[in-house]
Structure 1
Amino acid sequence: MRGFTEQEKATIHLQLLEKGRELFSSLGLKKTSIKDLTEGVGIAQGSFYLFFQSKEELYFRILEAEEEAIKESLLNYLSASMTVEDIKVFLIKGIQLIKENSLIQRLYFEGEYEKMVRKLPKEIVEAHIQQDNDLLEPLLEHWGIQKKENRLVISGAIRAYFTMSIHEKEIGKEQYNQVLEFMAEAIAVQLIKEKELEK
């Protein structure tokens, strides 16, 4: 990366993330151009590729940061001795945080997710899925789920639960919240059941 000092690189990287969040939230992935992004931070269009492979990768990295903030917020709801009701509240709060995030909402509800993922290298997507597993598995182990195969199934169920926020229309707006509560309770009950079986 000739032409930029290490400090400049770090500053530009951060500025691209900030400008990307602003533009993707307001315009979406399709309508945001590399030119929009680079003009916003005062660099040449070609310099963008010194930081990210594509605008899709930039969007993805911003989303990862958004998800990380949501996960950090959710960690406040966790404890080792969680009841069915505690787990249910944890899951429902997670859905609320996702619904309140304009960038995540646009990604899923404007149909931009598939467009983004198609242009990302497979290893980036796989690494993200692994990060989700790496976060949930220790939590499940902490809750008393010792068998790895059980942790993988439960963490998959929790990830699937969080994707329900993008299927409100298919589920039906009238019963959507009831379905969320039903599924949250079902996961919570199964988690406690698995914990008891492993004792």
Structure 2
Amino acid sequence: MPRFSDTEKERIRQKMMQEGERLFTTFGIKKVSIDEIVQATGIAKGSFYSFYTSKEHLYMDIAGSLQMKMWREMDEFLEENKLLPPRELCKQCFLWMFRKLESYPMLKQADSETAEYLYRKLPPEVIAAHTKDDSHELDQLQKYGVHFKCGIDIATKTLQTLAISFLNLQQDTAADQQTIMGIILDGVLKELISDESD
């Protein structure tokens, strides 16, 4: 196993994430090989495995990092819209995140096929860690008066399923996307979120 200083490790990890994001965005996760990642990064193949067990694990690390950036921006959105009723705040937040995907092409191109592939290839603990990150963000929504009728875990998995479904709408016009997402969100959020009028 290669030995790197902490500074070298961080530099290599950042380069792998940068090149991985570029390759995954351009070709999709299935078509990118570890050989292509290490060639673009300028490291030996053995070095790759001292950071990640698979290209799918790298993909999830990149996706998690991109989501964290989006969530930091989402916190600003929530602060600016905190006077909306809880259910409407959650709906507008979800629609905002979908529009924001334009800034994150790798996340935008993910669909149900990508999700199924990752679930098949990754160990359950990697998927569980990603779900935990998403539920942390729903915890943040509670600070803005959003109270879930079900547990955070169920709410998280429900909204993750919706997110993947919404990514499958990308062939539709923007107006149709907004209409369809609005209808689905109204129904789902009525079941998930308590509103003051309930």
Report the TM-score range of the alignment, normalised by the length of the smaller protein.
0.7 to 0.9
How many Å apart are 1:185 and its aligned residue?
3.6
How many Å apart are 1:149 and its aligned residue?
3.5
- More deviation in 44-53 or 97-106? 97-106
Q: 1:183 to 1:99 in 2, by over 3 A?
A: farther
Superposition TM-score, scaled by structure 1 size: 0.80
- More deviation in 68-77 or 5-14? 68-77
Mapped contact 1:25–1:102 kept (Cα < 8 A): yes
- More deviation in 182-191 or 96-105? 182-191
Q: 1:108 to 1:189 in 2, by over 3 A?
A: closer
- Residues 32-181 of structure 1 aligned to structure 2 (within 5 Å): 32-79=32-79, 80-83=82-85, 85-98=88-101, 100-108=103-111, 111-140=113-142, 142-143=144-145, 145=147, 149=150, 151-168=152-169, 175-181=176-182
Equivalent AA in structure 2 for residue 177 of structure 1: Q
How many Å apart are 1:35 and its aligned residue?
1.5
Sequence identity, in percent? 23
User: In the comparison of the two structures, how many residue pairs are matched?
Assistant: 194
Q: 1:104-139 CA distances to partner (integer Å, 9 max, x unpaired)?
A: 233327x33322221111111012112211220242
Superposed CA RMSD in Å reads: 3.0
Q: 1:78-112 CA distances to partner (integer Å, 9 max, x unpaired)?
A: 14532254443222111112355321233327x33
Q: 1:86 to 1:23 in 2, by over 3 A?
A: same
CA–CA distance in 2 between the matches of 1:181 and 1:143? 21
Q: 1:150 to 1:120 in 2, by over 3 A?
A: closer
- Residues 3-18 of structure 1 aligned to structure 2 (within 5 Å): 3-18=3-18
SS in 1 for 2:109: helix
Q: 1:143-192 CA distances to partner (integer Å, 9 max, x unpaired)?
A: 152x773555544443343233233289x768443121223344555666
Mapped contact 1:13–1:51 kept (Cα < 8 A): yes
Equivalent AA in structure 1 for residue 105 of structure 2: S
Moved over 6 A (4+): none
Higher helix share: 1
Q: 1:153 to 1:49 in 2, by over 3 A?
A: closer
Q: Which residues of structure 1 form unaligned runs of 5+? A: none
Q: 1:117 to 1:155 in 2, by over 3 A?
A: closer
Q: Which residues of structure 2 form unaligned runs of 5+? A: none
SS in 2 for 1:29: coil
- More deviation in 2-11 or 15-24? 2-11
How many Å apart are 1:195 and its aligned residue?
3.9
